[in-house]
Amino acid sequence: MIHERMALRLAKYLRVLRKLKGLGFAKVFSNNLGDAVGATSAVVRKDLSVLQISGNKRGGYTIDVLIERLVDVLGKRDVENVIIVGCGRVGSALLNFQEFGREGIRVIAGFDSDENRVQENGHVPVYPVSRMAGFVEEHRIDVGILAVPDQVATAVFEEMIGAGIRGVLNFTSVELKCTAACIDQGCLGECVVHNVNIGLEIENLFYLVRIQRESSETLPAQKTPGS
């Protein structure tokens, strides 16, 4: 019923709605909400109708009602704990990522195999990676960020899944999936991996800019007459 792209939009709606509420607004139109998240008003209305939220034909939607329902549907907790595995440049930047706090995400620990990076008394403690599995089990961590070198990505990933993590944000450029090793350890393939690959995004932007340039050279200066 709720597919993945839709779930992403719902999370965006929730963020915007909380801001609007903070500014004192009480009502919102599908129009506004769409603009704020980069969707059309039709998509917004469709999404909301799937959630069985209805608005007023003239007055739009009540922000409080939307927020309440979205929190419920998304199962949003007040605080969501994550760990970071691999505290090199990328990992340690994320350790101190301000935005997380604002969105209710708390990094409760980092892990690294290099003892020079271990720092158990920091604002966010960094432990030896050998203690990761125990920590995950003890604190029942569901989601982790993987930011280790590519060479060890698969091994560390399997360790995370083995310890009970079921959602991984993957900053390596290795394609991860639940293998036999994971399944042996009790994960029946039901884990989620999302990839963040900034280099790839940049390459893709160069490509898209290039083809856009080329196509606008071919059919030049199209202006709608009369607008």
Partner DNA sequence: TAGATTGTTAATCGATTAACAATC
Which 59-88 residues touch a second copy, going by CB under 8 A?
74-77, 80, 82
Closest CB 43 distance from DNA, rounded Å: 5
Question: Which of these segments, 21-29, 53-61, 130-138, 202-210, binds a second copy (CB under 8 A)?
Answer: 202-210
* Residue 135, contacted partner among a second copy, DNA, none, CB below 5-8 A by kind: none
User: Rounded CA gap, 184 and 159, in Å?
Assistant: 12
Closest CB 28 distance from DNA, rounded Å: 7
* Inter-residue contact 74 to 14 (CB < 8 Å): yes
Contact call for residue 36 and a second copy (CB under 8 A): yes
Q: Please, is 198 exposed, middle or buried when counting C-beta atoms within 10 Å of its C-beta (0-12, 13-18, 19+)?
A: exposed
What is the separation, in whole angstroms, between the first and last Cα of the chain? 41
Task: Categorise residue 182: left if φ over 0, alpha if ψ from -120 to 50, beta otherwise.
Answer: alpha
Binding site for a second copy (CB under 8 A): 2, 4, 7-8, 11-12, 15, 35-38, 74-77, 80, 82, 89-90, 93-94, 96-100, 102-103, 105, 142-143, 145, 166-169, 173, 175, 177, 188, 190-192, 194, 196, 198-213, 216
